[in-house]
Amino acid sequence: MKDSIKFNDAMLSAVMDGRKTQTRRPIEPQPKVTKEELRNLSAWQEGYTLSEQVCAAWRHGFVDVDCPYGETGDIINITDKDCNIKGRIEITDVWVQQIQEISQDDAHAEGFELTGWRPTYSDPDSGGETFTPYDKFADAWIDIYGEDSWNNNQWVWVIKFKKVE
């Protein structure tokens, strides 16, 4: 398990202010899980997305990968971009999902508000309207991990946490 999670200045500030209570990090190496494989393991249920299915399979031990950031109940350091420890968080939940499956509420929990910038991938005919937390999260993800990561709908660890005083 890693002993810390690193955040850029904006996201570290959001963690410290309590506006950020989730973070997503790419799973390395990326799992190659398909609907057919889950069916063969008797781990498929109709009516759910592949992302939901893989998360359920992972939670029940059908997908044998441990989150390198820790598990529920672990307390780890948070650091700035230079690896200086700035505080601690307690992991309250961990799950897997594909990056594009993030909900508006989860994008908000990632620290993104309704005010802010215009995403680079958005419709140029949108008239400069305010974009959702999902839009801003997607733009930030692309800035950090690249457009291919978003377009390929990469698998990620979702780490939900609370700041420890």
DSSP-based helix, strand, coil % in the chain, nearest 5: 35, 20, 45
Q: Which residues pair with 95 in a beta bridge?
A: 158
Is 119 a residue whose pLDDT tops 60? Answer: no
Q: For 9-23, 73-87, 98-112, 128-142, which range has the lowest pLDDT when averaged over its residues?
A: 128-142
Summarised one tens digit per residue, pLDDT across range 120-143 is 444 444 555 557 888 889 999 999
Q: Quick one: which of 12, 160, 161 has its CA closest to 79?
A: 12
**Cβ neighbourhood burial of 127 (10 Å; 0-12, 13-18, 19+):** exposed
What pLDDT is stored for residue 122 in this prediction? 47
Domain ranges of the chain: 4-27+65-164
Percent of the chain scoring above 90 in pLDDT: 61
Q: How far is CA 149 from CA 5, 19, 105, 163, in A?
A: 20, 25, 21, 28
Contact present, 80 and 7 (Cβ < 8 Å): yes
The CATH number of domain 4-27+65-164, selected from 3.10.400.10, 3.30.365.10, 3.20.20.70, 3.30.465.10? 3.10.400.10
Model confidence at 58, in pLDDT bands (50, 70, 90)? confident
What pLDDT is stored for residue 32 in this prediction? 83
By DSSP bridging, strand 22-26 and strand 75-79 are unpaired
Rounded Cα gap, residues 33 and 54, in angstroms: 8
What tokens were used for 41? 């393991």
Residue 34: CB atoms within 10 A of its CB come to 11
What pLDDT is stored for residue 131 in this prediction? 73
Amino acid symbol at 126? S
Rounded Cα gap, residues 160 and 145, in angstroms: 20
User: What is the value of pTM for the model shown?
Assistant: 0.84
